[in-house]
Every structure is written in structure tokens, then in C-alpha cells.
Amino acid sequence: MATHHGRIEAVIFDLDDTLTDWGGQSITWEQFFGPRTNTIHRFLSESNHQLPPVDEFYTIIDQATRSIWEEAKKTWIIPSIGDMMLQVFIDLGLDVERIDIDEILVIYDWGPLPGVVPYADTIPVLEELRDRGYKIGLLTNSFLPMWMRDIELEVYDLLQYFDARVTAADVGYLKPHPFIYQRTLELLETTPEKAVFVGDRPKNDIAGANDSGLISVLMDPPHLNRDLDGVVPDFTISSLTELLPILDGLDAQI
């Protein structure tokens, strides 16, 4: 494998709206999650657990999801979807000794949302970075474990490009908390000043990268209209291809 010789060793990407384009999302969250929640409801009912009616079950899970995210925005600490489900089941009085949460998550059948696809230049840019010898990381603020998000990466043919993949669920912290950046840098065996972070959310991706000493690149494609809210990225791009000359420029600064 090529090793990149220059100031920058690693390029770390956010996933949603950075490598994949959510602008074409063609169904609502309820349409996506509803059938999946129904499947879990059916599975648990068939295993002789006493559950509320399916609509109520959906509402309980939906509210639990909203409430953990609301809490997480105060502390940047996030439980995983599995921990959340387990707590919901405990609160419903289910015999959780008889429930295998990993099995529940497999039954949940996570996958790409209809209409969400990589940008046209996502794969060409990742190919180019790999050819240039950069280490490539992925760091997503997801409460799903990485193996679930990997299902999407595999469908999009992106999985092969990453030397390290980190989801907030597996680490317990969300961007902008420094811990999750440190963890990703450790996995890539690099240091903040040798790493570029590319993400679309100023308050999470960019503020966190800045605080942790990485070079920050705001991905600002036309379908997003993010409020910077005082956060200052080192660079701003509207397509991933624009990242390549930025990396050239950083290497030339030695």
C-alpha cells in the first residue's frame, strides 16, 4: 500500500450528508422505522412477551429515541440503540433475560434509506485519496453500532476504503466531544495536526475538529444550508472533489 509523504497523513470523513447525499431521501422516517418497529413487535409477541398495541409500541420507541438525542445534545454522551431498546423493554416490564438485543437489532434490518446515495464524486475521491496513500477514516454521530452502518457502506460500495470506522454508539460520545476524535486518531495511528476532518455540521463536525486540533473542512453542498453559528472552518467545499487541491496546498506548506 502506498504511504503518503507530506504534512497530512489521514483524512477523516463524517458519513451522512458528507459522503452520502440525503437530499433525495424519498420516504419519511416513520415510513422507514414503522415497518421495522412492527417486525420487532411481532417477534417479541411471538416469543410470548406482553406488549402494548403496535402503534403505541412505535410511539414509545420514537419518544425514547427523541429523548436520548435531546439529552445527548447537553452532554455529548450517547447510549447505543441497543441500550435504548433494552431500557424500553425494561420499562415495559418485559423479561429481558429472554431477549437477545443483538438479535433484535439484526431483525431490525437496518439498511440504506431509499433515495440516499453517495455523491457522484464520493468513490472517485476516496479512490484518489487511497492512491495517494492517505489513511482514510470515518467518524459518524450515529447511535447505531458500526456493524449496522456498515450495511449501508457495503451497499454503497464504500466499505473497502476505510482504515478505521467509528460510530458514536460504539464510543459512547458524540462529536464535538474530543474523546471520539482521539479514538479515531488512535485507530489511524496519527495525530491531530496530521489529520483533516471533513463534515457538514458546523456545531458537531467542525467545532469538534477545531477543538481537537484537526484541520477542519466544512462540506457545504447546495442542498444544505447550515447555520455556522460562529463556528469557523479552516476550509469550505461544496463538493468532495474540492478537497483534493486543499490537501495539495496543505502538503505544500511544510
**Which is closer to Mg ion, CB of 80 or CB of 141?**
141
Residues 244, 238: Cα–Cα separation, whole Å: 12
CB of 217 to Mg ion, least distance (A): 13
Task: Using the structure block, give the residue that is written with the C-alpha cell 416469543.
Answer: 47
CB of 205 to Mg ion, least distance (A): 7
**Which is closer to Mg ion, CB of 145 or CB of 199?**
199
Single residue of 8, 12, 17, 58 touching Mg ion by CB under 5 A: 17
Rg, the chain, Cα only = 20
14 near Mg ion, judged by CB under 5 A: yes
Residue 129 carries which side chain, given as an amino acid letter? L
Single residue of 8, 11, 13, 16 touching Mg ion by CB under 5 A: 16
Identify residues 18-57 at the interface with Mg ion (CB under 5 A).
none
CB of 14 to Mg ion, least distance (A): 4
Q: Are strands 117-118 and 20-21 parallel, antiparallel or unpaired?
A: antiparallel
Single residue of 158, 200, 217, 220 touching Mg ion by CB under 5 A: 200
Residues 169, 144: Cα–Cα separation, whole Å: 6
CB of 18 to Mg ion, least distance (A): 5
DSSP for 34-56 reads HHHHHHHHHHHHHTT-----HHH
Residues 57, 37: Cα–Cα separation, whole Å: 8
**Orientation angle between helical segments 29-46 and 101-108, nearest 10 degrees:** 130
**Which is closer to Mg ion, CB of 41 or CB of 177?**
177
How many residues lie near Mg ion (CB under 5 A)? Answer: 4
**Which is closer to Mg ion, CB of 4 or CB of 208?**
208
CB of 20 to Mg ion, least distance (A): 9
Binding range to Mg ion, per CB under 5 A, among 16-24, 129-137, 144-152, 230-238: 16-24
Residues 152, 1: Cα–Cα separation, whole Å: 25
CB of 139 to Mg ion, least distance (A): 10
Omega prior to 145 cis, within 30 of 0:
no
CB of 224 to Mg ion, least distance (A): 9
Question: How distant is the alpha carbon of residue 205 from its chain centre?
Answer: 11
**Which is closer to Mg ion, CB of 22 or CB of 33?**
22
220 near Mg ion, judged by CB under 5 A: no
**Which is closer to Mg ion, CB of 170 or CB of 220?**
220
Cβ(109)–Cβ(20) under 8 Å? no
DSSP for 154-171 reads HHTT-GGG-SEEEEHHHH
Residues making contact with Mg ion (CB under 5 A): 14, 16-17, 200
